[in-house]
Amino acid sequence: MAFSEQQYSEISQELQNVKAEIGKFIVGQEEAIEFTLYSILADGHALLEGLPGLGKTMLIRTISEVLDLSFSRIQFTPDLMPTDITGTNIIERTENGKQQFVFQPGPLFSQMVLADEINRATPKTQSALLEAMGEKTVTILGDTKKMAKPFFVLATQNPIEMEGTYPLPEAQMDRFLCKILVPYPSKKELMEIMKRTTGAEEVELEKVMNSDRLILAQQMVKEVLVADEMMEYAVNLVVATHPQGELALPDVRQFAMYGSGPRGLQSIVKLAKSRAVMQGRFHVSIGDIKSVAKPALRHRMMMNYEGEAEGKTADDLIEGILTSIQQGVGL
């Protein structure tokens, strides 16, 4: 192992300090904070879904500030063009009077990019993110440019039932490491939100980490050990999401159109490793895999017509799979 137990302990404490600092400004939203941090540690992208006004944008902006990362926000609208986010070549006059093409980078060239209300843009513009998210490069007029390091796309979307939204294509949904549901705050949390946002006192956020420490933490996440039985458990979870799979439950066969692909398995393992590091461990436990299964798989399972008519959700099916597979493998 390239890193010592002491190093894992130190980085875990640093990450807990990051979480505590975010909590100074963001009320509640524990799961959203944790899984956004897990995604960043796993060098992946996260999708946050919730109604407007629940603080999704503020959460991401706060995280970028605490981690001391360059930040840009893209407000997705139906008339947004791909070049509006990637940038384009413009003609500039040189000192000797000649003209030349100069690349003007778009907002995508930041370490942390907030794609706000991503499902309000047309599919053409949504797909412009695909190369940047998958390959961490952007190709403009045949010229390939690398993204910043570290690079994260943290997107927010409104529920599809709302007017003026375009469902994200499956290929793009699959690029997100996890889908985080942002719930409506409780009465107590609403009271606290009002105190923090309508009073005269402003919260000063400290920069707890920087990009160098974050890149180190990402490397440590990769080194986390995954025992064979843990890997088998994760594989069984993914196989069980397929209606035609050998481990499919009756509910999955009846209500699911299709299940998760290999990226779902990668997401489970990466998020489980990130959770282990956050808790100061350098090995993945069964608890890590269980806790990350829903966010990792919920956007990779599609209900069929019967499932939608019955009001079934991917979370319902994943809950049944977790119970069944646990009993099935005796873990």
Same fold, 5-214 and 224-329: no
pLDDT of residue 164: 62
Domain residue extents for the chain: 5-214, 224-329
pLDDT digits (tens, 9 = 90+) for 239-275: 988 888 787 788 888 888 888 888 899 999 999 999 9
What is d(CA 171, CA 176) in angstroms, rounded to the nearest whole number?
10
Please give the C-alpha separations between residue 141 and each of 105, 224, 284, in angstroms, as whole numbers: 13, 40, 44
DSSP 8-state class, residue 3: S
Beta-strand pair 302-303/256-258: antiparallel
Summarize pLDDT for 53-70 with one digit per residue, the tens: 667 777 888 888 888 888
Rounded Cα distance, 135 and 198, in Å = 42
Residue 184 scores a pLDDT above 50: yes
193-199, Cβ contacts within 8 angstroms, sequence gap of 24 or more: 193/27, 193/55, 196/25, 196/27
Q: Predicted confidence band at 304 (pLDDT cuts at 50, 70, 90)?
A: confident
- Which of 212-217's residues contact partners 24+ apart within 8 Å by CB, and which partners? 213/11, 213/14, 214/40, 214/41, 214/67, 214/69, 214/150, 215/149, 215/150, 216/11, 217/11, 217/14, 217/15, 217/41, 217/277
Measured CA to CA, the distance from residue 23 to residue 171 in angstroms comes to: 33
pLDDT at 328 exceeding the cut of 70: no
In the CATH scheme, what is the homologous superfamily, with its name and number, of domain 5-214? P-loop containing nucleotide triphosphate hydrolases (3.40.50.300)
- CATH no. for 224-329: 1.10.8.80
Cβ burial 169-188 (10 Å sphere, 16+ → b, else e): eeebebbbbbbbbbeebeee
| DSSP at 299 | G
Count the Cβ atoms, other than its own, within 10 Å of residue 235.
15
